Structure 1
Amino acid sequence: MERKRVMSYIKEACVGHYEEAKRAALLGADRIELCDNLKEGGTTPSYGSIVLTNKLPNITVNVIIRPRGGHFIYSDAELEIMRKDIEICKHLQVHGVVFGVLNKDNKIDREKMKGLINAAKPLSVTFHMAFDEIENKKEAIDLLIDLGVDRILTKGGEESAIKNLSIIKDLIRYAGNRIIIMPGGGIHNQNIEMVVKQTGATELHGTKIVGVLSD
């Protein structure tokens, strides 16, 4: 009898506070993206939330570094806040940080990203869904690889990843082994294997990636 092939992929649970992180860990998440204010698209969580979440056993934690909701063009003061928050994450020895900086043309702000990435070393760096606002995504992938980013979180475009599976598949093929393309947006524990089969993704992200986290 032919054995059924077991698909291997990482499930990153996007959570809005510690209790959701704890539940996600119990439900089998491999990694946490810890945020505050999910209705704003996620902002930097509190020091205490990072401390407690990072103590959860058998799971790694990535922390979003975003001083406010809204656009991804940041002032010098906001960039300094982001650097300070990155320093806290390094001190607490989390696995990684998640951020993205654009310019007024909705392209990656290379110099500002370079400064934050250098501040984050040796932590893992994820470029978040600011990527979806960029028109030339393959050019952006090449730039993020050059900057040393580890992964890109993307819906593939507008709406949700589920609506953009063919685009995500193409981006994953283009990136190859150079950088991880991690789809997110509309992916949950009931459709995750379908997304893996159709795109070839090895890491996937969502608020319901392992089930419902809040009552």
Structure 2
Amino acid sequence: MSRIRAKNEEIIIRAASRVFAEHGYAATKTATIAELAELPKPNIYYYFGSKEKLYHAVLESITEPLLAASAPFIEHQDPVLALTAYIKSKLMISKNYPYASKVFANEIMHGAPHLPADMIERLSEQTRTLSAKLHDWMAQGLMTAVDAHHLLFAIWASTQTYADFNWQITMALGKEELDEQDFERAAQQITQLVIGGCKVQSLPEA
């Protein structure tokens, strides 16, 4: 893929993420996306073929980071390190992909009618992997025995809310937008709640 094509596709996906997030799939017009991207409307079809394919590209742009966020569970055997890094990764998705996150959330709330089957399976497999790792740490006595699925749901909700309910959060904080320190404080707070609430312990030193 040429550098120009990659750059234009990224511009279009970012513009489409915002328009889909603000208007929904049905009400979104490719002309609006083209205007926001500051590109000719034919470029939308040249790079993506159709509005549906562009919508799928937006979903993929958020699904891939969501899948990659589970890397700490594989990289770290220590549950404190893994959960701390995982929470930070999830928050960075809300920071870096706020509109795509809203598109994904809206898709899920409507029963995921446009989410491809392979994406659903990959996300489901990720959940199974994360749950199994949490159960393993519980079996080792490294954290309190809790419902692994509901712990994951709580982490997802508390991290994704910084994108999906950004307006409410900025209003409550009395600022126009969140900065690096806001996300850092959020990471520390959520991590403290998870680590402390589940009494997560580090691996004993060898």
TM bin (shorter chain): under 0.3
Greater strand proportion: 1
TM-score (norm 1): 0.26
Which has the higher relative contact order, 1 or 2, with Cα contacts under 8 A spaced 6 or more apart? 2
Question: For the pair shown, which has the larger CA radius of gyration, 1 or 2?
Answer: 2
What is the TM-score normalised by the length of structure 2? 0.26
Structure with greater helix share of residues: 2
